[in-house]
Structure 1
Amino acid sequence: MAKTVEIAGAGLAGLCAAARFSQLGWKVTLHERAKDLRMFGAGIWLWESGLKTLSILGAYDQAVARARRIQEWRIVDSRGRTLMSRPTPDHDRMLLPPRADLYQALIDRCVANGVEIITSSIVTEVRPEGVLVTEAGERNADLVLIANGAYSVLREQILGTAWMDFGVEAGIRMMIGNRPDDPTDVITEYWNGPWRLLYNPCTEGENYIFLSAPVNDERARVLPVDRALWAEKFPAASDLIERFSEASRWDRLVNVRCRRWSQGKVAIIGDAAHAMPPNLGQAANTAFTNVMALALAADRAIDMPSALVGWEQQQRSLTNHVQWWSYLYGYVLNRWPKSIESLRSDVLSTMSKTQWFDEALNRGARHLPVG
């Protein structure tokens, strides 16, 4: 008889888990509180770890069909000086599809694998013995997964949260129209004090823009976007700024650290377990690799609670490392004193050329997923 898993939340982590467990022969039910499965249309960074996960799931071709193949990620300061250049050769790739394309590719794998997807399904409780409760009643399973995001209430039902840190940044995501002379394979991240403008080639027709600023800068977080503010901060990107879209999304950039990732037969995955700012573009990639390891551990489990503890012990160190570096990145960007901003440029330019920095920055991106 097939093992069963109940998943609360149909975001990227929940869909990845549903696709993988169903691929392994499990009976999977995926619960989504919204009435439709929808994803905001910004872009997403897929590093080697995430790309290999998608290949295993059979979702790779569809997910990246329109994606730009990125050759370099570089950081530029307000004087136009390149502070970091991170190449992405063929053995260490990064592709940048629209997030909605990735989302749909995972949905289609779930449907093809026979996953039961229940929308408008509000999960109200999880229990360590392997019970998920919705407004429609209780459901028993060999495994229950909490995948309903950084602000998960379900996480606290197993006392999972260690801390949440809202940091000092606000972020705005949007897609803008493409022009023929736009770079097609280089990501440029412009810095000016604690303000940031990130240009991402995405598809032949659109580019992805991410903006971040101190959360107390009211002009920086207003929607529609205050183009005059961003043009003042980044005159070198004025051609991009004049194309800023009205269809934007504003977010606080939050960190979540858990006391534990599981209790009994309940496990926490994705942003519910380890939300991090998008500074390294590794939140989804980290979720994917953790899900792959979880699926293997659970599929082989004789005792599920013990298998979940072992899974966390295997994966936690790398996840903590990626999350810490994402947090540190934001700290350097946002809290560096304005009076010595040139020193920040000098330090980052020097450090980014060292082997230690390269390995630490990219440890998660280069990780090979289990499976």
Structure 2
Amino acid sequence: MKPLDIAIAGLGPAGLAAALALARSGHRVRLFDQFDEPRPVGSGLMMQPAGLAVLDWLGLGEALRRLGAPIDRLFGREAHSGRIVLDVRYETLGNGRCGLAVHRAALFNVLFDKVKASGAAVETKVKIAAIDRMSGRRPVLVAGGGRRFGPFDLVIDALGSRSPLMDEAAAPAARRSLAYGALWTTLPWIAGAFDARVLEQRYERASVMIGVLPVGRRFSGDSAQTTFFWSLKAENHARWKAQGLGPWRDQVTRLWPETETLIAQIDDPDQMVLAAYGHHTLPLPFGDRVAFIGDSAHSTSPQLGQGANMALLDVRALCGALDQASDLDQALAFYARQRRFHIRLYQLMSSMFTPFYQSDSHVLPLFRDWLVAPASRVPLVARALARIVSGDIGLGRDV
């Protein structure tokens, strides 16, 4: 396919990875972002082997590995009994595979530095609001204040789960907000307090989940960081802030005494940022000269740790489709076929697993603790769980 004029809305991992890959393939790329200066949003995240393979394809894997924290195990206990209710070990996959926990700033910086060098143009202070087709089939992006950009051969929507462009999809998505979200913050890592290669969690039924994730460094020369998270209903956030940190600290240390030194570094409720979750999947992640990637195309809770990985897999599939197809319509249809099964499988599994760890149910956590957890120690089941977390179940050979 001849080089295209491509607009990418959103400078998250999906948008940046797409810009880099498409610019390298010879396409003319313009990125649009609403912030005054390009910057990451959020705390730490898990890169799984499937997503790391895409970063290796982009030539960025080693740079990110030098900053991130290798994760060998996902481990969780019931807070009162101490019973092990989560134990996923990457070693069951063989070949030295593991997860990689990274600060979003590290992932952003590694991607953005390469995007700047690729020749892709970056437009800041542009909040994309709509697509206008009045001038013909080629889409024009409309921003706040009525500013217009384009026309383009292709628009890629990487604006996330609240994108205003999703009505451009060939079929609408059913959106469902999830009651539970999480409070997140990044803190300096305390050496010796926790295992530096383990994502560790504690649970009280399914209504409380506490997590400690070592995420490595934000940039070369930085000190090691930790992401700390606390499960919370979005509707209870204002009440949580109003009660002050004292009662909350007491609750956390009662459930997980080892966190006392860590959370002592939190002295302002605003250090904890609320992430609200929702679930949607576009039946077709494209429209007329529009492609949707990452959370614009599909979003769910982060229980399986797949958000950034699914976005990167979308980028790999879309770029491959554009390279292989003879025209744009064919490429977009091929992209959708490549990603359909994998996306639906992981959306389904995430929907199934989430209530066991984030819900008001009293029955599901009992089922989790007394049946699912023991079964996970059976070798075949342990390997299956590790493969689910790694992100490679149901992944087509060409993605």
User: Common fold, TM-score beyond 0.5?
Assistant: yes
Q: Which runs of structure 2 are paired with 1:149-188 in the superposition (5 Å)?
A: 149-158=160-169, 160-182=171-193, 183-188=195-200
Q: Which runs of structure 2 are paired with 1:322-333 in the superposition (5 Å)?
A: 322-333=346-357
Q: Does 1:270 align with 2:294?
A: yes
**TM-aligned CA distance change 1:161 to 1:6, over 3 Å:** same
Q: Does 1:94 align with 2:99?
A: yes
Corresponding residue for 1:132?
A: 140
Alignment partners' CA distance in 1, 2:120 and 2:199: 36
Identity among equivalent pairs (%): 21
Alignment partners' CA distance in 1, 2:236 and 2:368: 22
Deviation at 1:98, TM superposition (A): 1.2
Does structure 2 retain, via aligned residues, the 8 Å contact 1:162–1:258? yes
Corresponding residue for 1:109?
A: 114
Does structure 2 retain, via aligned residues, the 8 Å contact 1:264–1:304? no
Corresponding residue for 2:60?
A: 59
Deviation at 1:47, TM superposition (A): 0.8
Secondary structure (helix, strand or coil) at the match of 2:150 reads: strand
**TM-aligned CA distance change 1:219 to 1:195, over 3 Å:** farther
Give ranges in structure 2 of 5+ residues lacking alignment: 217-222
Secondary structure (helix, strand or coil) at the match of 2:358 reads: helix
Alignment partners' CA distance in 1, 2:30 and 2:214: 36
TM-score of the superposed pair, with normalisation by structure 1: 0.91
Alignment partners' CA distance in 1, 2:375 and 2:249: 33
Bigger CA drift: 119-128 or 150-159? 119-128
Corresponding residue for 1:48?
A: 49
**TM-aligned CA distance change 1:364 to 1:301, over 3 Å:** farther
Alignment partners' CA distance in 1, 2:213 and 2:51: 18
Deviation at 1:328, TM superposition (A): 1.9
Deviation at 1:245, TM superposition (A): 6.1
Give ranges in structure 1 of 5+ residues lacking alignment: none
Counterpart of 1:148 (choices 153, 159, 162) is 159
Alignment partners' CA distance in 2, 1:47 and 1:72: 12
> 1:263-292 CA deviation, whole Å, 9 max, x = no partner?
121111111111111111111101101110
Q: How many residues align?
A: 371
Alignment partners' CA distance in 2, 1:159 and 1:227: 48
Does structure 2 retain, via aligned residues, the 8 Å contact 1:172–1:221? no
Counterpart of 1:200 (choices 182, 189, 213) is 213
Bigger CA drift: 132-141 or 192-201? 132-141
Aligned-residue CA RMSD (Å): 2.5
Does structure 1 retain, via aligned residues, the 8 Å contact 2:68–2:102? yes
Deviation at 1:244, TM superposition (A): 3.5
Q: Does 1:238 align with 2:251?
A: no
**TM-aligned CA distance change 1:47 to 1:177, over 3 Å:** same
Deviation at 1:341, TM superposition (A): 4.3
Question: What one-letter code is carried by the residue in structure 1 that aligns with 2:212?
Answer: Y
Does structure 2 retain, via aligned residues, the 8 Å contact 1:9–1:31? yes
Deviation at 1:261, TM superposition (A): 0.7
Does structure 2 retain, via aligned residues, the 8 Å contact 1:286–1:364? no
**TM-aligned CA distance change 1:195 to 1:137, over 3 Å:** same
Secondary structure (helix, strand or coil) at the match of 1:44 reads: strand
